[in-house]
């Protein structure tokens, strides 16, 4: 089902064969190209893809996700191969690991039809996340905190 991958990094698209490892950084876009056999009336489905990790008890833990419409033509008697793609933007987790994916290796990729979750394809341990998110401003804010507090308290003090 997953044909190939493409990565948009620093303004350039480059192809990656399905199954090859891909290294992604903050702001990169991973495009997953799929082929789905379809038989039935003309219909629109939702192509859903995610980057995550397979966990023993909960199954596939989706961390980054993307959705795109998948247009299926009228094909009542024979299977037709429908091709589609979905983009996932890489957002690296910020302060305390909140809001994205943590840098690391061995993330997996999953693509499915949202309306039929059993129509799923997965490629295990093919995505590596490198680098960091936007600069962490926590240190600077903590250094400026006493000055901000002094600026708030000073006007309240009166000379006796």
Arithmetic mean of pLDDT over the chain:
82
Strand ranges in the chain using DSSP code E only, listed in sequence order: 2-9, 12-17, 22-24, 29-40, 43-55, 59-72, 75-89, 104-113, 116-129
pLDDT, tens digit, 9 for 90 and up, residues 45-67: 999 999 999 888 888 899 999 99
pLDDT, tens digit, 9 for 90 and up, residues 6-42: 777 767 777 877 667 888 888 889 988 888 889 999 9
pLDDT on residue 50: 93
Q: What's the whole-model pTM score? A: 0.75
Give which of 70, 85, 71, 69 is closest to 32, Cα–Cα. Answer: 85
Domain count, the chain: 1
Q: Rounded to whole angstroms, how far apart are CA atoms 76 and 78?
A: 6
pLDDT band at 97 (very low <50, low <70, confident <90, very high): low
Domain with 60 in it: what CATH number? 2.60.40
pLDDT, tens digit, 9 for 90 and up, residues 110-157: 999 999 888 888 888 888 998 775 555 556 666 676 767 777 766 666
- By residue range, what is the domain housing residue 75? 2-156
pLDDT on residue 138: 58
């Amino acid at each position: 089902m997953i044909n190939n991958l493409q990565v948009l990094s620093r303004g350039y698209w480059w192809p990656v064969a399905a199954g090859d490892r891909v290294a992604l950084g903050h702001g990169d876009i991973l495009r997953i190209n799929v082929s789905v056999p379809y038989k039935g009336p003309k219909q629109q489905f939702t192509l859903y893809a995610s980057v995550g990790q397979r966990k023993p008890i909960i199954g596939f833990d989706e961390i980054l996700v993307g959705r795109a419409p998948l247009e299926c033509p009228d094909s009542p008697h024979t299977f037709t191969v429908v091709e589609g793609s979905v983009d996932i933007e890489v957002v690296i987790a910020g302060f305390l690991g909140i809001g994205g994916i943590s840098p690391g290796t061995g993330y997996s990729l999953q693509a499915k039809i949202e309306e039929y979750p059993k129509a799923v394809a997965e490629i295990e341990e093919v995505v590596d996340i490198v680098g960091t998110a936007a600069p962490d401003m926590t240190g600077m804010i903590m250094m400026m905190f006493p000055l901000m507090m002094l600026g708030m308290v000073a006007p309240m003090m009166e000379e006796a």
